[in-house]
Structure 1
Amino acid sequence: MPNRIDFMIAGVQKGGTTSLDAYLRQHPDVSMAKKKEVHFFDKRPPTGIRALDYFVYHRQFDFGAQARGAKLGEATPILTWWTGAMERLWSYNPDIKVIMLLRDPVERAWSHFRMDRRLQREGADFSDVIRTERERARRSLPKQDRERSQLARGFYAHQVRNLKRLFPDEQLLFLRSEDLSDEAQPQLDRVTDFLGVSRFAFEAEPRHNSATDSDRMKAEDRALLEETFRLDAEETRRLLGWEQGSWSV
């Protein structure tokens, strides 16, 4: 096989992927892409990718470092959710290792909304957003709507199933975002073991892309989200063999 990157942090948005990307940039035997979120596999035509496109993609990576023994990777957390992206990643490299960070879906939706509001991509009230997302997203049909997706991205079970359909278990690593945030080093040890590089004493990273305002989710909105995500969260944990732990659902 020609040159290919070794791993992908493929999900989920607002799940701690920026922090994981930053941590791995500290490791001497890991070489991350020049930028986080290259957005290659989620922006290709569904009919496939040409070899020339791979050449353009590979300009983001230091293949000289790979020749010296480093593992090459990147983080584009929309990939597990974006239709067709993981299939294109499989076509690119069926032996690639994939990391997915999963966060309490209720908190993920709230964090996603707050990010969009800070970036002035969302002007509506959160209560309205979560109650009208399906209707608003239909404006993009038949295309998938990446903007109106605060709820849609939090349904993890089908994303996990698709990963397990495409890749054997030994190529997949699922982590709780909360564990990485609460005590990073044990989770980072799991990541380095998974990637096949030496364990490393990582320096603590600040919380990346975290909100600073003091908003609180309304009780009725939290109740709606808990009801919305409950069954999917239960199924996700069943697929992964996880307990509920700190998740609200």
Structure 2
Amino acid sequence: MSKKVNLFIIGAPKCGTTYLFEYLKQTVECDMSSVKEPDFFSHDLLTRNVTYYKTQSIGNQVEYDQLFRLNQDFPYHGEASVSYFTYPEVARRIHTYNPEARILILLRDPALRAFSHYKMDRRLGYINTSFDSIINREYTGAFAEQFYDQYITTGYYSRYVKTYFDQFGKNQICCIRDTTDMSHTIEQISAFLNIPIQRIPETRVNQSVNFKSDLLKSLYTSRRTRKLFKAIIPPAMVSLISTEDEKLPHELNEKLTRLFKEDQHELKRILDND
């Protein structure tokens, strides 16, 4: 089997990667993996580190290849694994595997991304302390450092983006700094991949849900229940069983904006230079 995966959506987490993955699955030009996050190129790194979230990564090349229709003539065979974003080893591994690969990087305001990531983890039952206790390093319970890294360290985008630019160069990377407007994001990525724009869904696939019922909150922590919920509950009904999405408090937003300010300037410099 001579063909290789040549399209990688690498992150960042909570920046629209699921939406983009599902969108590209609809196109005739892209053969996207049957599993969204195979984490093949980060398998050993995830296995070695005991994380608070459960992963089902694939460590076998044969199993990885079977996620794709590599024997069929698609312009792109692609996957999306957000763990690839923060591990510098992964950029080198992907380049060694396929130096011609295209890399898609989705970003957003790092303060809002951090809070969105926190809300997801709280909703899934991974954490029950306050967001400010994490960013102020007041929380010292289990996985305290990992929570800080997931929410804050991940938001220092420039170091991770630079790693991929150093490996692949500007012509093989499409980095979107603000994915707030997903329609515009899709247009930019379609132009980069030279594929026609399909019908663009109106809502995000991985939209945050804040349940009113404690029972629903508890049930939603199960991966199996989440899949069932998404399969049987129409989007129009979600608003009836959920509360208004929690917003990042103004003072915390300002604090995080100051925290990320220098890195945002560095990210702009990297992208403008390239």
TM range (shorter): 0.7 to 0.9
| Overall identity of the aligned pairs, in % | 27
CA deviation after TM superposition for structure 1 residue 86, in Å: 1.4
Which residue, out of 111, 115, 125, partners 2:116? Answer: 111
- 1:20-61 deviation digits (Å, cap 9, x = unpaired): 111111111111000211111112369xxxxx9322211111
Residues 19 and 208 of structure 1 are in contact (CA less than 8 Å); yes or no, is this contact kept in structure 2? Answer: yes
Shift of 1:219: 2.8
Per-residue CA deviation, residues 112-133 of structure 1 (Å, 9 max, x unaligned), is: 0000001111111111011118
Distance 1:146 1:82, change over 3 A: farther
Gaps of 5+ in 1: 47-51, 243-249
Listed one character per residue, the Cα deviations across residues 188-223 of structure 1 (whole Å, up to 9, x for unaligned) are: 233233224x31332325212222443232233222
* CA shift in 2, pair 1:4/1:137, >3 Å: farther
TM-score computed with the length of structure 2 as normaliser: 0.74
Structure 2 residue ranges without an equivalent (≥5): 47-58, 211-244
**Does residue 270 of structure 2 align to residue 239 of structure 1?**
yes
Is this contact kept in 2: 1:10–1:80, CA < 8 A?
Answer: yes
Question: Does 1:199 find its partner at 2:180?
Answer: no
User: Relative to 1, partners in 2 of residues 1:45 and 1:156: Cα closer, same or farther, differing over 3 Å?
Assistant: closer
**Which residue of structure 2 lines up, in the alignment, with residue 132 of structure 1?**
137
TM-score by length of 1: 0.81
Counterpart check, 1:220 vs 2:225: no
- Aligned-residue CA RMSD (Å): 2.7
Please point out which of 206, 210, 214 is paired with 1:209. 206
Whether the 8 Å contact between 1:96 and 1:171 is mirrored in structure 2 is yes
Structure 1 or 2: more helix by fraction = 2
- Quick one: which of 55, 65, 70 aligns to 2:62? 55
Q: Could you say if the C-alpha distance between residues 216 and 180 of structure 1 is closer, same or farther in structure 2, counting changes exceeding 3 Å?
A: closer
Question: Does the CA contact (< 8 Å) of 1:26 and 1:202 recur in 2?
Answer: no
Contact 1:133 / 1:148 at 8 angstroms: preserved in 2? no
Residues 88 and 160, structure 2, Cα contact 8 Å, conserved in 1: no
Measured in 2, the distance between the counterparts of 1:139 and 1:112 equals: 15
